[in-house]
Structure 1
């Protein structure tokens, strides 16, 4: 699809959080590494952790060898450590402006994230564009989180749109698989944690290398609804 094409039938935009709207990677790498080392005894490499960004913490810890009876304490400890390191988190300002633009043009907006509710709540308190988010689908809201399509479908249901009327923007293969299998337009961004070659291999509908390119596309492609979809 040409990146300059207007999408007149688009009614909603779904955004991943980590690696798409914010760069939380520095703190996440430290927190997950420390948590796994403390409970499992072996610290995963940064590359191993990066490869699982987009998988809920419970799934990551199981992959790194944690026992089922350790998972709850590990998640609690890791979330606490991530919040201690929140000063390392930065916003991709132009990606956040894309969210704001979608909202201002009358499109429905949602966050679709592998964060759990306890992780999402403090993030929203400090996220300067939280007012532009209509609903949040977290890992706590679904039985099967990303890459399963359940989260994207639930977001569309909450927003009152059909999947083919929505686009989902994310930086991981899990985002793209979730979008594709839900029937939602899959928009990849290669400035986050996901490897560009892995994103390309998923054959997304669109791929942008920078937040600037994403915002430029949004200015051209997002329709302005005279009767906002959320009214």
Structure 2
């Protein structure tokens, strides 16, 4: 069996951070005097890079987006360690690690936030790297984050051929395709399955995810 590189998105894939992110957006929009949004609109903020979200969903002038992001992060930090694992996800990560798959997190969240959150959640033993955007480039694309994660694992001697991206949003699919990777969409975060129309596969449970990864590794 080939133990291919497996990259995981974080928010909406590993942890159920939607309520925390949505509340931070509510508080940010209120402080900035921007129109409030419905729950359906707020859920769209979970996953994409913040720069894109403030530009596309709140119509913030690009010149002011960095300030808006700073306000959001001030609220987000207050509860950022409170997001629970989706049921069964941690066990699936542990199983993949035990089987020898090299794992890394590739998230649009900044590394300065993602790394301590992953450590607090007890994920350090399973993931070789936690890769995110940098503080001075909050609009960094998901494709660039994935490319950075692949480069780190390749430098460790792992072959990127057959690598897989696991995520819950269209940005994960597009970022994987930009790096010529297969991508598996996960449905347990509530994403509309239509976002995965061009994904390699879509799975409903963590157990199904492990089965799909193992089956691909046998080919």
- Name the CA distance, whole Å, in 2 between partners of 1:34 and 1:222: 44
| Alpha-carbon contact 1:164-1:185 (below 8 Å) kept | no
Measured after TM superposition, the shift of residue 57 of structure 1 is 1.6
- Name the CA distance, whole Å, in 1 between partners of 2:76 and 2:190: 16
What is the RMSD of the two structures over their aligned residues, measured on CA atoms?
Answer: 2.4
| Alpha-carbon contact 1:10-1:166 (below 8 Å) kept | no
**Comparing both structures, which one devotes a greater share of its residues to helix?**
1
Q: Is 1:206 matched up with 2:201? A: yes
Equivalent pairs, count: 212
Match of 1:108 in 2: 102
2:74 aligned residue (61, 77, 80): 80
Give TM-score, length-normalised by structure 1: 0.80
Unmatched segments (≥5 aa) in structure 2: none
Q: Is 1:25 matched up with 2:18? A: yes
2:38 aligned residue (33, 42, 45): 45
Measured after TM superposition, the shift of residue 222 of structure 1 is 5.0
Match of 1:177 in 2: 174
Structure 1, 186-195 or 91-100: larger mean CA deviation: 91-100
SS at match of 1:110: strand
Unmatched segments (≥5 aa) in structure 1: 1-7, 224-231
Give TM-score, length-normalised by structure 2: 0.84
Return closer, same or farther for 1:174/1:26 CA change in 2, 3 Å cut-off: same
Structure 1 segments (4+ residues) deviating >6 Å: none
Measured after TM superposition, the shift of residue 153 of structure 1 is 2.3
Measured after TM superposition, the shift of residue 193 of structure 1 is 4.5
- Name the CA distance, whole Å, in 1 between partners of 2:130 and 2:77: 19
SS at match of 1:138: strand
1:115-144 Cα shifts (integer Å, max 9, x gaps): 012321331232122221111221228784
Q: Is 1:91 matched up with 2:88? A: no
Q: Is 1:118 matched up with 2:119? A: no
Match of 2:141 in 1: 145
Return closer, same or farther for 1:154/1:118 CA change in 2, 3 Å cut-off: closer
Structure 1, 150-159 or 137-146: larger mean CA deviation: 137-146
| Alpha-carbon contact 1:51-1:194 (below 8 Å) kept | no
SS at match of 2:175: helix
